[in-house]
Structures are given as C-alpha cells and as structure tokens.
C-alpha cells in the first residue's frame, strides 16, 4: 500500500494541534474536507488515528506512532524535492547553516577556493530550526549548538565554550567576575527551564506553585536581550553569542558551575554528497589548527 504524502501532511497538522478546525485553517482547506481525508487515511491504514469527543481530540496509540514516523518522512520528502529542484536548475550550490555567534567565513572561503564554480551560501538558524533546516534540505550542513535531537543526523563535535548569565546592566550581580548557578536561584529565567537544568533544579519560583511565569516565545537573540534589558528576567547563553551582540544596557557574568555549550557540525545521515564530507574536514581542521573561527 502506498501512503499519500498529502494525507500525511493533513494528519500531522491535526495531530500537532489536536483540533480539526485550527488544522483546517492552517492548511487553508475546509474542515469537512480535512475530516474526509483523515477518515480516508484511517481506512487505508485500517486503524483509528484519533479519539474524538465533544470536548477533545486525542491521538490513539496508532496515531502517536504515525506522528513519530510521519514527521521525519515528510521532512525527507521535502528535502528530496529541494535537491531535485536544485539539480534541475543546473546550479552547483552548497548551503551552510550557522547558529548565532558562530563565524563560518574561513571554512566557507576555503571551500570556495577549492571549487571556484561552486556557489556557497549561508543561512542563519535558531534554536528552533537548526536541525529542521538540515532535514528538510534547506542547508547541506549546519553548525549546531547542543542539545539537539540527533535522529537522522550525523554529528561531529567541533568545540565548546563557556555559558554566561546575561543580566540588565544595573543588576545586583553585574560587575562580578564570576558567579555560581546558586546566585541565580531567585531570578526569573526567560527560557525553558529544561534548557538550563542546573537552574531548574534550584529555582525558587519552580518550588512555589503558581509562581512560574510562562517563558515568551523568542525567535532571535535580539528579542531575548530586549527582554533582559527591560528587566523582565535573565537568560543563559554561550559566551560568543553575547560577545557578538554587545550592547550597553545588558552585561554578562561567567557561571562557574555550568557545563560548556557544545558546538558541532551536523548533516543528514542519508546524504551522500561528497562536498559535505569535504566541508566537514575543512571546518574540523580549522578548529584544530588555529584560533577558533566561531568567536
């Protein structure tokens, strides 16, 4: 049996929202059409994917399994489409993704020098999409910051760097040479607590029911720094990021008992493009033989 990718996309839209109306709106189709497509998919697979009541829509065990498998499958299909389209245009293009604070110019320049006819492009990524752009084919290789979901990827460690607390310039800890994570126990972290488990485990606000304010959805480092400067809370970032985004109304202090942030190269494990291996070797050599080009 062949599974229709369109039906899979419809299923994922519903499964991620657990609401047929909102999924139909996001897909720009009528809700009855979406419901018919989901029923058709269930008939093809001979399973029930959703348990629907008047109050809620929930995934069945079969639906949970399909969601786990459908997301990477759809990403692979999109990556295939992008690569085929690129090949049809006859353009020799290689694209590198990079996270904030990481400078990729030396490795990009070296690859261009080896392949003068190759167009090498760069794409800035975020914590939210740094692996997504690899798996969906937007970039061929990416500089990523751990932790990431490594499924479907090959990951090569490059280097590590300290993490620092980013504070408003008038903060009580501003100006200190070093602090420990315990000094931040009473602060409000403008991040998912799981991103800084050392803070999560001692945070005062997490031990008091109802005290934790929801973290804003940030899409860029600049947004985080704006909130810090406004006194809404603090963030913990890699040193290179805050050094790159220096501004007078925020400051940073190294935190002695936080593990360093790991910087790695990552690429789709199914790809066989020899340029990926070549670029990975170039980047690795640059980090091993000279000053780190990442900061």
- Omega of the bond leading into 92 within 30 degrees of 0 (cis): no
Write the class of the CATH domain 163-254: alpha beta
Low-confidence ranges of the chain (pLDDT < 50): 90, 292-295
What architecture does CATH give domain 5-77? Orthogonal Bundle (1.10)
Contact 126, 112 (CB under 8 A): no
Write the class of the CATH domain 92-158+261-289: alpha beta
- Which pLDDT value is given to residue 77? 82
pLDDT digits (tens, 9 = 90+) for 148-184: 999 899 999 999 999 999 999 999 999 999 999 999 9
Domain positions in the chain are: 5-77, 92-158+261-289, 163-254
pTM of the model: 0.68
Fold identical between 5-77 and 163-254? no
CA torsion sign for 286, 287, 292, 295 is positive
pLDDT digits (tens, 9 = 90+) for 235-262: 999 999 988 888 999 999 999 999 999 9
3-state secondary structure of 58: strand
B/e letters for 101-126, b = 16+ CB within 10 Å, e = fewer, are: bbebebbbebbeeeeeeeebeeeebe
């Amino acid at each position: 049996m062949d599974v229709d990718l369109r039906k899979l996309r419809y299923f994922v839209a519903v499964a991620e929202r657990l609401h047929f109306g909102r999924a139909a709106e996001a897909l720009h189709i009528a809700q009855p059409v979406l419901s018919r497509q989901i029923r058709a998919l269930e008939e093809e697979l001979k399973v029930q994917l959703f348990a629907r009541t008047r109050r809620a829509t929930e995934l069945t065990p079969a639906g949970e399994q399909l969601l786990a498998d459908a997301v990477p499958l759809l990403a692979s299909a999109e990556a295939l489409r992008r690569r085929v389209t690129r090949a049809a245009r006859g353009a020799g293009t290689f694209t590198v993704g990079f996270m904030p604070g990481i400078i990729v110019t030396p490795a990009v320049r070296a690859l261009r020098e080896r392949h003068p006819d190759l167009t090498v492009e760069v794409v800035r990524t975020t914590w939210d999409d740094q692996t997504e752009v690899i798996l969906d084919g937007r970039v061929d290789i990416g500089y990523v910051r751990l932790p990431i979901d490594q499924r479907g990827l090959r990951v090569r460690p490059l280097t590590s760097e300290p993490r620092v607390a980013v504070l408003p310039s008038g903060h009580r800890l501003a100006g200190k040479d070093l602090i420990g994570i315990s000094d931040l126990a009473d602060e409000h972290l403008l991040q998912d607590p799981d991103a800084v488990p050392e803070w999560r485990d001692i945070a005062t606000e997490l031990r008091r029911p109802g005290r934790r304010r929801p973290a804003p959805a940030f899409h860029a480092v600049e947004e985080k720094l704006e909130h810090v400067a406004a006194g809404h809370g603090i963030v913990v970032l890699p040193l290179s990021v805050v050094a790159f985004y220096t501004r007078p109304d925020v400051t940073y202090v190294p935190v002695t008992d936080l593990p360093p942030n790991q910087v790695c190269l990552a690429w789709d494990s199914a790809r066989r493009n020899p340029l990926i291996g070549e670029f990975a070797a170039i980047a690795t050599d640059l980090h091993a033989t000279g000053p780190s080009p990442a900061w």
